[in-house]
Structure 1
Amino acid sequence: MDIDMDYERPNVETIKCVVVGDNAVGKTRLICARACNTTLTQYQLLATHVPTVWAIDQYRVCQEVLERSRDVVDEVSVSLRLWDTFGDHHKDRRFAYGRSDVVVLCFSIANPNSLNHVKTMWYQEIKHFCPRTPVILVGCQLDLRYADLEAVNRARRPLARPIKRGDILPPERGREVAKELGIPYYETSVFDQFGIKDVFDNAIRAALISRRHLQFWKSHLKKVQKPLLQAPFLPPKAPPPVIKIPECPVPSMNEAGYLLDSPLCADVMFVLQEQDCIFAHKIYLATSSSKFYDLFLMECEESPNLDETQCNKENTNKDVLTSHLETNSDSDEASLKSPDVKFPPESSDSLNTLEPESGETNSAARSLASWGKGFVSVNKEMQVNPVSKRTCPVTVVKMDSSVQAGPFKTVLQFLYTGQLDENEKDLTRLAQIAEILEVFDLRMMVENIMNKEAFMNQEITKAFHVRKANRIKECLCKGTFSDVTFKLDDGSIKAHKPLLICSCEWMSAMFGGSFIESSKSEVVLPNINKTSMQAVLDYLYTKQLSSSQELDTLELIALANRFCLPHLIALAEQHAVQELTKASMSGIAIDGEVLSYLELAQFHNANQLAAWCLHYICTNYNSVCSKFRKEIKAKSSDNQEYFERHRWPPVWYLKEEDHYQRVKKEREKEDVALNKHHSKRKWCFWNSSAVVA
């Protein structure tokens, strides 16, 4: 469509609008937003700046641009033609200024120099080339006033001058310059699509009013208003920070396998053929295998008077055995009292209690032999731990000669980790031992490998870990097979050292190092309550946060920070935010609670919760401050500075809103007075006409 067609249309006013200003202030982006309806993200707008001039030929070659140029302002049909210009001061722009109807003079609110050039260079140039043309002053890039400047600077090109907080101009600076020059002032943001229509509609009004003075016979221009006031832009509320939960630090196969290879706090010793000895942990075996669970529970019931043994007192498995174990009491007493027992034994004297004397019957061996294949006998002894070199009570289990050390160690490795190496060589013997010990998951995995269907073992491992987690949680609740008791301010809780060592570096250092707690069955933890400690143990055992209603989230965060558990801190932060949000949505006031959370969360490294509290206080600043002014003033200087910088609505908006309402009332008074004046003139005119008649 030809550009001249609009000039030929009746009652269509064609307006030439020239846009000028410094480089990189947003002139071309503003023109494209009006002429082409372009919408870009903030970082796309700021990432790079390529000096460009929007081509006026777009009206001739692009139907969409031509259609968008047409508008109706104050009942006047117009066709707006936008002319872009270079921002270099030394360029010759006289061709662009020729026959212009209005000039839009732009500066960036993030560049004070561009505003200074408005007075010192641009306004003088405009008045030199087109002295009677109206001018509109526009502050661009309004969104930088409330944007995250660090993110903006990262998105800009590497050599670009970084935008500083002190560079951001308040609205009154632009308004003062506009008042000094006697021209209207508007602000725009292409990113927020704010002010674009205000700028160009009022530029059209300024051009039409100027044209009305020169072409007074055009009656359709009588209703054109002078440029209107622009309501201030209220920035949107920043979205609340999302609580990010880091990846759960699940103990890996290597960690659990390392605990088997280096048996800290071991409480089980398996004696195999040729007196090979393997140390292990009841809690790992009992929660992975029902057979071992029954064995160790039976052993606990048979030795309830041993102070060193921590076992469950419930008789939940009485029907498992047909008879109780009977051990030689003299031999047991001697073994428990002897401090000279060493590992590994150089002779078989330490195992005499396991071997039946000639001519005598060993009821224990008979009981285990009739109870399960592969087991010979079980009894309690004092043994030297091969890692800590400390003497401690150990459950000694003698295995049948058919159970060989290599495959049996692989079975134990599976019970610890739930995984099986596909390159295992002796799969047949391993399957036999798994069958004897009733480890059916392992038996299925061996069969899958032999059938070249090892990919199915992943599902078996998942199911294995689910069952293991449930059994571990049950053992925590009942204290079954526990080997340590935590003494707290309001009670005590039984726990299991091996699980704690694998789940928490703090616990690993305490129980696996040279601290005295590593050899104690009772550990005193001051200033800790039972509910919080129970929640920490639940997490260490299951990697989940317990949802107890009595749980104090801040106390849990403090305890998690004390034990160096960042993942638990994140879970507690998420729980606290969910509870606060739920209470707020149900109409419960949470302002005071959020204020109390803030600095405690910062002190205990709950940075995500602290950020959420800061966001809540800032976005509800007026209501919070009206109720808790003293508490706000009592906060740290850093927090108060953050409140002032990020409060919503921002201070500059409140000032602009007051100014807008005041000027609006003044203009309304002027309009009322002007209407009265026009009414009076009309009355005088008709009155004088009547007298003449």
Structure 2
Amino acid sequence: MRYQEGSQYGAKAQEGSVGFSLELSRETQLSSLLLLPPGSRREPSIMGRQRKGWYSPWETSQNNMSQLMDSDMDYERPNVETIKCVVVGDNAVGKTRLICARACNATLTQYQLLATHVPTVWAIDQYRVCQEVLERSRDVVDDVSVSLRLWDTFGDHHKDRRFAYGRSDVVVLCFSIANPNSLHHVKTMWYPEIKHFCPRAPVILVGCQLDLRYADLEAVNRARRPLARPIKPNEILPPEKGREVAKELGIPYYETSVVAQFGIKDVFDNAIRAALISRRHLQFWKSHLRNVQRPLLQAPFLPPKPPPPIIVVPDPPSSSEECPAHLLEDPLCADVILVLQERVRIFAHKIYLSTSSSKFYDLFLMDLSEGELGGPSGSGGPRPEDHRSHPEQHHHHHHHHHGRDFLLRAASFDVCESVDEAGGSGPAGLRASTSDGILRGNGTGYLPGRGRVLSSWSRAFVSIQEEMAEDPLTFKSRLMVVVKMDNSIQPGPFRAVLKYLYTGELGENERDLMHIAHIAELLEVFDLRMMVANILNNEAFMNQEITKAFHVRRTNRVKECLAKGTFSDVTFILDDGTISAHKPLLISSCDWMAAMFGGPFVESSTREVVFPYTSKSCMRAVLEYLYTGMFTSSPDLDDMKLIVLANRLCLPHLVALTGRASLCSLRCPGTHSVDQSGLQLRNLLPLPPKC
């Protein structure tokens, strides 16, 4: 029968069927369609050797008989089951690649598979001409020795494949998971054809090109030929689609990837099992077929490690300098009133003044209760009546400050001189506390209620007092600190100084630079004096470094105030405690906070704000980010909860920073303990649905 089938092959080969043929004149033509494994060398055919004069006619006939005997050895071996497996499916779904991976152990990269598709088939005569292919066809499945013979076919629908289907033991029906039409043709074209030509042969449904499900489709489409139809993400079939079709047809379903070398053995081993079970029903006397199992379930595919996600961190808010300056024009949540020349009132904020100037820091930390500002004994300063008994001397003292000599001294920028005249011996810079010798008891006195006279403590201030004042925006009375400034301080230059204290910048086109230098000396803001000197010397470019140093110092002071709760004016009530904050800093750095504290909400007039579903660690991280513009991760910080909180507060920059920090912690597990890494993974992965 096999010789008769071989004689029929010559009439069917033109229609696309490729089968086992002993017609030697067709051997060379079929070998041109073979995909040999890398490094293998095909021996010339017998007819080719005869044409080249390598064999005599007698040797040719002897070799011909030898090959025929070798090819029939598998059929004559006892207890060796020869399985004819026909592979069918649409064009370009990966049938030939799958056969070569099993028969020739061929490995291909994804970019090799993306080359221009040329319809080919794998010729069956490889089992006769290639010893390696013949050896790889032999296998043992469930203690049964088998010889698997793979038959490749063309994928054209109009081809006649009846010869390939003849006496087939099992049919492997392939489709591509990147081509929904190929799966549709499984039901409409291929399965009916299989049942027409071999109704008793079992069928195995195989989804090929599994690697495309997890591949970068943009890179794949770029690597393909220019005129190829691009693969769209919505065309990638999930495994459920293949299982639905397989369940509808009542056949097993498997997935393979030649690139990842996944599922190849599963497909053909289970195809062999299906063929042996079908054969066991007819050849029930074969005892070695009793232990053959049904096709097994396929182990899940472990996708390749994906590339790390690219987290795009948006630019931080660009209005970090404009918002603090805007608070001077629109004094929202102001808690300080600066009185100039007994008539000009400027509203300001403790947190900005104290974190930018050590003089204001010491001023706002004073004890304003009744008593002297002096040494431990409280007797180092004069009485209030002594201060009020010499108004002429005090008036003459102010006129001396307004004189030409004082302006010349301010223009000289002698830091040491200004410090000595101020009564202190500290360095020319921001001081961290009142322990640097600035607070002295000379020349201070009493004021009615909570207040002090400061004319001798500092030449910049006259007095400080707490009193009920009307809010400039809400027109409601609330407790504020009123600071009377020295009469030599003019409103225009003083506003420029306040802008520096809020933003760290000084405009090059500012007028009255001499008055600005005078105020900077009174407040001991020596960096501002240096900036004025740079502008006068046409070296304004050097002020950029001074501004950077200013922000570094203020950042450190702000973090200290956050940790200690100094100058706080609001308290957040959280799930696990409370934390103090500062409304001006929150308003200038977060639109959400600005709307809450500046709008018609209850929180704008209360000192306690309830924040549900928020922990102290998350709120502290948010406040530190809003105050300093930086994010620092800590072991006790839950990144997912912080992302939720940052998203609630409309902080996309913080969300991106937290995501990047979480990703870095997962990449470097050494930075956290094993339990912490596992906790993070559990937080990042979604929980399974409850049954």
Q: TM-score, normalised by structure 2?
A: 0.54
Q: Hey, what's the Cα distance between the residues in 2 that align with 1:555 and 1:304? A: 50
Q: Hey, what's the Cα distance between the residues in 1 that align with 2:250 and 2:212? A: 18
Aligned partner (choices 210, 213, 220) of residue 143 of structure 1: 210
Aligned to 2:19: none
Q: Is the 8 A contact 1:105 1:135 kept in 2?
A: no
Q: Hey, what's the Cα distance between the residues in 2 that align with 1:126 and 1:283? A: 88
Aligned to 1:502: 588
Aligned to 1:479: 565
Query: Using a 3 Å threshold, how does the CA distance of structure 1 residues 175 and 445 change in structure 2: closer, same or farther?
Result: farther
The residue type paired with residue 608 of structure 2 is V
Query: Using a 3 Å threshold, how does the CA distance of structure 1 residues 195 and 328 change in structure 2: closer, same or farther?
Result: closer
1:651-690 matched pairs, under 5 angstroms = none
1:422-433 matched pairs, under 5 angstroms = 433=519
Structure possessing the higher relative contact order (Cα contacts under 8 Å, 6 or more residues apart): 1
Q: Hey, what's the Cα distance between the residues in 1 that align with 2:496 and 2:657? A: 36
Superposition deviation, residue 283 in structure 1: 0.5
Classify the secondary structure of the residue corresponding to 2:43: helix
Aligned to 1:269: 337
Q: Show CA shifts across 1:215-258 (max 9, x none).
A: xxxxxxxxxxx999888242227979989796596672222222
Q: Hey, what's the Cα distance between the residues in 1 that align with 2:506 and 2:657? A: 32
Q: Show CA shifts across 1:366-417 (max 9, x none).
A: 3322xxxx55554444433322222333333444566444443333223323
Superposition deviation, residue 187 in structure 1: 3.9
Q: Hey, what's the Cα distance between the residues in 2 that align with 1:493 and 1:186? A: 58
Classify the secondary structure of the residue corresponding to 2:458: helix
Q: Does 2:118 align with 1:53?
A: yes
Q: Show CA shifts across 1:319-340 (max 9, x none).
A: 312226645635x68xx9xxxx
Aligned to 2:439: 321
Q: Hey, what's the Cα distance between the residues in 2 that align with 1:296 and 1:97? A: 96
CA radius of gyration, larger in: 2
Aligned to 1:364: 454
Query: Using a 3 Å threshold, how does the CA distance of structure 1 residues 52 and 494 change in structure 2: closer, same or farther?
Result: closer
1:438-477 matched pairs, under 5 angstroms = 438-442=524-528, 460-477=546-563
Aligned to 1:259: 327
Aligned to 2:411: none
Q: Hey, what's the Cα distance between the residues in 2 that align with 1:137 and 1:26? A: 15
Query: Using a 3 Å threshold, how does the CA distance of structure 1 residues 529 and 96 change in structure 2: closer, same or farther?
Result: closer
Q: Hey, what's the Cα distance between the residues in 2 that align with 1:158 and 1:146? A: 11
Q: Hey, what's the Cα distance between the residues in 1 that align with 2:153 and 2:544? A: 64
Query: Using a 3 Å threshold, how does the CA distance of structure 1 residues 237 and 193 change in structure 2: closer, same or farther?
Result: closer
Aligned to 1:232: 298
Q: Does 2:193 align with 1:115?
A: no
Q: Hey, what's the Cα distance between the residues in 1 that align with 2:594 and 2:456? A: 40
Q: Show CA shifts across 1:286-324 (max 9, x none).
A: 11222321232247577999xxxxxxxx99447312226
Query: Using a 3 Å threshold, how does the CA distance of structure 1 residues 254 and 71 change in structure 2: closer, same or farther?
Result: farther
Superposition deviation, residue 106 in structure 1: 2.1
1:123-162 matched pairs, under 5 angstroms = 123=194, 139-141=206-208, 143=210, 157=231
Classify the secondary structure of the residue corresponding to 1:140: strand
Q: Hey, what's the Cα distance between the residues in 2 that align with 1:454 and 1:296? A: 32
Deviates more, 1:374-383 or 1:450-459: 450-459
Aligned to 2:476: 390
Aligned to 1:220: none
Q: Hey, what's the Cα distance between the residues in 2 that align with 1:21 and 1:544? A: 56
Q: Does 2:680 align with 1:612?
A: no
Q: Hey, what's the Cα distance between the residues in 2 that align with 1:324 and 1:424? A: 36
Q: Show CA shifts across 1:111-170 (max 9, x none).
A: 642332465455379879xx9xx9995612373898699999999656976747752326
Q: Show CA shifts across 1:176-205 (max 9, x none).
A: 547xxxxxx864124533134777999999
Q: Hey, what's the Cα distance between the residues in 1 that align with 2:483 and 2:437? A: 21
Q: Is the 8 A contact 2:444 2:455 kept in 1?
A: no
Q: TM-score, normalised by structure 1?
A: 0.53
Superposition deviation, residue 284 in structure 1: 0.9
Q: Hey, what's the Cα distance between the residues in 1 that align with 2:367 and 2:473? A: 25
The residue type paired with residue 167 of structure 1 is K
Aligned to 1:523: 608
Q: Hey, what's the Cα distance between the residues in 2 that align with 1:448 and 1:96? A: 93
Q: Hey, what's the Cα distance between the residues in 2 that align with 1:120 and 1:203? A: 16
Q: Hey, what's the Cα distance between the residues in 2 that align with 1:304 and 1:171? A: 92
Which stretches in structure 2 are left out of the alignment for 5+ residues?
1-27, 33-40, 47-62, 72-83, 123-128, 140-146, 222-228, 275-291, 374-431
Query: Using a 3 Å threshold, how does the CA distance of structure 1 residues 50 and 244 change in structure 2: closer, same or farther?
Result: closer
Q: Is the 8 A contact 2:153 2:161 kept in 1?
A: no
Query: Using a 3 Å threshold, how does the CA distance of structure 1 residues 255 and 231 change in structure 2: closer, same or farther?
Result: same
The residue type paired with residue 352 of structure 2 is Y
Aligned to 2:59: none
Query: Using a 3 Å threshold, how does the CA distance of structure 1 residues 640 and 572 change in structure 2: closer, same or farther?
Result: farther
Q: Hey, what's the Cα distance between the residues in 2 that align with 1:173 and 1:135? A: 14
Query: Using a 3 Å threshold, how does the CA distance of structure 1 residues 438 and 560 change in structure 2: closer, same or farther?
Result: same
Query: Using a 3 Å threshold, how does the CA distance of structure 1 residues 387 and 315 change in structure 2: closer, same or farther?
Result: same
1:566-645 matched pairs, under 5 angstroms = 586=674, 612-614=684-686, 639-640=689-690
Q: Give identity over the alignment, percent.
A: 45
Aligned to 2:136: 73
Aligned to 1:6: 43
Counting matched residue pairs gives: 517
Aligned partner (choices 582, 587, 598) of residue 512 of structure 1: 598
Which stretches in structure 1 are left out of the alignment for 5+ residues?
58-65, 179-184, 207-225, 306-313, 337-352, 354-362, 595-607, 619-638, 642-693
Q: Is the 8 A contact 2:592 2:649 kept in 1?
A: yes
Aligned to 1:169: 243
Q: Hey, what's the Cα distance between the residues in 1 that align with 2:98 and 2:43? A: 23
The residue type paired with residue 118 of structure 2 is V
Classify the secondary structure of the residue corresponding to 1:368: coil
Q: Hey, what's the Cα distance between the residues in 2 that align with 1:448 and 1:18? A: 88
The residue type paired with residue 368 of structure 1 is S
Query: Using a 3 Å threshold, how does the CA distance of structure 1 residues 398 and 516 change in structure 2: closer, same or farther?
Result: same
Superposition deviation, residue 93 in structure 1: 8.0
Q: Hey, what's the Cα distance between the residues in 1 that align with 2:589 and 2:371? A: 30
Question: Which structure is higher in helix share?
Answer: 1
Superposition deviation, residue 28 in structure 1: 7.1
Q: Is the 8 A contact 1:194 1:233 kept in 2?
A: no
Q: Show CA shifts across 1:406-463 (max 9, x none).
A: 4433332233233455666776765665455443444555666778877766655444
Superposition deviation, residue 474 in structure 1: 1.6
Query: Using a 3 Å threshold, how does the CA distance of structure 1 residues 97 and 171 change in structure 2: closer, same or farther?
Result: closer
Q: Hey, what's the Cα distance between the residues in 1 that align with 2:683 and 2:240? A: 24
Classify the secondary structure of the residue corresponding to 1:393: strand
Query: Using a 3 Å threshold, how does the CA distance of structure 1 residues 556 and 227 change in structure 2: closer, same or farther?
Result: closer
Q: Hey, what's the Cα distance between the residues in 2 that align with 1:482 and 1:201? A: 73
Deviates more, 1:374-383 or 1:484-493: 484-493
Query: Using a 3 Å threshold, how does the CA distance of structure 1 residues 556 and 177 change in structure 2: closer, same or farther?
Result: closer
